Structure 1
Amino acid sequence: MPMKRTPTKKNSSKCSSGTMQHSESAPNIAAKCELSAIENINQRKRKRGEDELQSFRNEFMEMFSSWKREQEVNYTNILSAIEEIKVQNSEIHKSIAFMSEKYDVLVEKIRTLENEKNSNHQQIAILESKMETLERSIRSANIELCNIPKLPNENHEKLLSIAQETARVVGVPIDKSNIRNIYRINSKNENNKPIIVELSSALLKEKILKAVKI
């Protein structure tokens, strides 16, 4: 802090040689005047030092008060930021818990769907096996009639009549009840497609085939 020096004032109480010449000698008077001047200077210096010290104290207290207020504001801001972070962390924890719960539910659904898929595959395999067995069983009772020209306006009844007449010719008469189904299958010759006769049993098929071979 810059120190301002106050110009030294002249001593107002001048030593008068005329006044004191009758009582004291000149050297004593000069010494007293010098001591008085020095005392006045010291007093002014002390007062100036005290003023400067008080000014320094006031300035320091003002700086300290300002710093304290600033720190209080910073502390308040820090507390506010900490509370905000706590709230954000709480929300993050809630979100994580929610997502974890949803994930568990999704995993359980996927596991259930996989089990259902495996079960469906097993059921499909069983059905396919049954269908294959049924088809083999049906084919085992099928007779194929070839080289029979297609009749005009041919229908299911006419095909039944053809099958019955053919069986009668070979010596094994059959009724309509012995025929499960009858139809022509595709071939290159549109007018002479083979006729498939699905009989009621493989035994009846064997009987007809034996009669044909005789």
Structure 2
Amino acid sequence: MPLRRTPPSTTQGKMVSDTNQSSAPVTDTDNETTSTITSRPRPRKRQYDDEVSITMAEMKKSLETFKLQQNIILESINGIKNQNSEMIKSMELISAQYDDMKNKLITMETERKTHLAYIQTLETKVENLERSQRQSSIEIRNVPVQKNETKDHLLQLVQKVGLATKNCINETHIRDVFRTNADKKGNRSIIVDFSSVIMKEKILTAVKTHNRSNRDNKLNTTHLQLGCQSQPIYIVECLTDKAKKIFYQARDFSKKNQYDFCWTAHGKVFLRQKIGAASHRIDSEIDIDKLQPQKEK
């Protein structure tokens, strides 16, 4: 009769135990364990890595863009610096030119003042020279021009003036006599150049005396026997053009400011406000301006 072998009880028990365990109902704890073991985090990590890569790529792109913009800004700044350097150079050049021009203007102004002073000196010398040349001359105004008039006719007129003022005038007393060019009104004065200043002063004094003594019959054309309607004759010093201008302005000033006396002596112009007051010598317009009454503020 053959022998029967039976497996050891431990092995069978273990198998039974495993079988029992496998056939035992699954509990919640077993499910959590199984879920934990079976779930793998790899897909989520890969998604995270992709997002990080995209973010890094965007940041890299932004950095490159920023770097590009920064390079553009740096280039603009460098361009501005270059422009500023050119502007500084231009301003320095302009400043140097301005200083040079300023110095030239200062020099020109100094030279102008020097030239004006020199011109003033020359004008004074010319005025004194002309005054010296005319110091023995008189001017007879308002005498009609005769037909075919000659120097002899003019000499006779001067001699008649001497007779009317009780002065004997010979040819030897007269160095020259002539008519001036016509003025704006067409008048032509007679210039008489005497041989001496003394004779000139003598004639002028005689004319003033005659006119004071004969206020109703002052020296006029009837005294010269011209055969024309009577009109007054004026005999004055022969003034230079500058003195004539100043004399005209002085007379205008005397009328407006109640100055009683305005006269000439030795080719110079004088003003006096009233009898006994101080006389003022007028050499230029500045002297007239000094006499202007100051306006009340």
**Class of the TM-score when normalised by the shorter of the 2 chains:** 0.5 to 0.7
Counterpart of 2:89, as a letter, is: A
Provide closer, same or farther for how the CA distance between residues 39 and 146 of structure 1 changes in structure 2, counting only shifts above 3 A: closer
Residue pairs, 1:139-154, within 5 angstroms = 139-142=131-134, 143-146=137-140, 149-152=144-147
Which has the higher mean CA deviation after the structures are superposed, 86-95 or 165-174? Answer: 165-174
Corresponding position of 2:38 = 44
User: Match for 1:105 among 84, 94, 97?
Assistant: 97
Contact persistence 2:174–2:193 (CA under 8 A): no
- Is the 8 Å Cα contact of residues 144 and 196 (structure 1) preserved in structure 2? yes
1:205 aligns with 2:189: no
Query: Equivalent residue of 1:144, what SS?
Result: strand
- Please list the CA deviations of residues 64-113 of structure 1 after superposition, one character each: whole Å capped at 9, or x if unmatched: 12211211111111121111121122112212321331233134223313
Give the direction of change, closer, same or farther, for the CA distance of 1:119–1:111 in structure 2 (3 Å limit).
same
Shift of the alpha carbon at 1:22?
9.1
TM-score, L = length of structure 2: 0.46
In structure 2, the residue matched to 1:169 is 170
For residue 130 of structure 1, the aligned residue among 122, 134, 142 is 122
Give 1 or 2: higher strand fraction.
Answer: 2
Which amino acid letter does the alignment assign opposite residue 48 of structure 2?
Answer: F
Name the residue aligned to 2:180.
183
**Two-structure CA RMSD over aligned residues (Å):** 4.3
Cα distance between partner residues in 1 of 2:52 and 2:200:
128
Tell me by how many angstroms 1:151 deviates.
3.1
How many percent identity over aligned positions? 12
User: Which position in structure 1 is the counterpart of 2:50?
Assistant: 58
Matched-pair contact (CA < 8 Å) for 2:139–2:190: yes
Bigger fraction of residues in helix: 1
For residue 50 of structure 2, what is the amino acid of its counterpart?
N
Q: Distance in 1 between matches of 2:34 and 2:193?
A: 148
Shift of 1:56: 0.7
Distance in 2 (alpha carbons) for counterparts of 1:164 and 1:94: 87
Greater mean deviation of Cα atoms: 101-110 or 26-35: 26-35
Tell me which amino acid in the other structure corresponds to 1:135: E
- d(CA) in 1 for partners of 2:173 and 2:193? 15
3-state SS of 1:209 partner: helix
Question: Which amino acid in the other structure matches residue 36 of structure 2?
Answer: N
Q: What is the aligned partner in structure 2 of residue 116 from structure 1?
A: 108
Q: Structure 1, residues 165-184: CA drift from partner, whole Å, max 9, x if none?
A: 9698253364x7xx9x9736
The CA deviation at 1:140 is 2.8
Kindly tell me the number of residue pairs found equivalent between the two proteins.
180
Scaled by the length of structure 1, the TM-score of the pair is 0.61
Using the alignment, how far apart are the partners of 2:151 and 2:73 within structure 1?
A: 93
Give structure 2 stretches of 5+ with no counterpart. 1-11, 160-168, 206-297
Q: Report 1 or 2 for greater relative contact order, CA contacts < 8 Å, sequence distance ≥ 6.
A: 1
Secondary structure of the 1:146 match is strand
Give 3-state SS (helix, strand or coil) of 2:16's partner.
coil
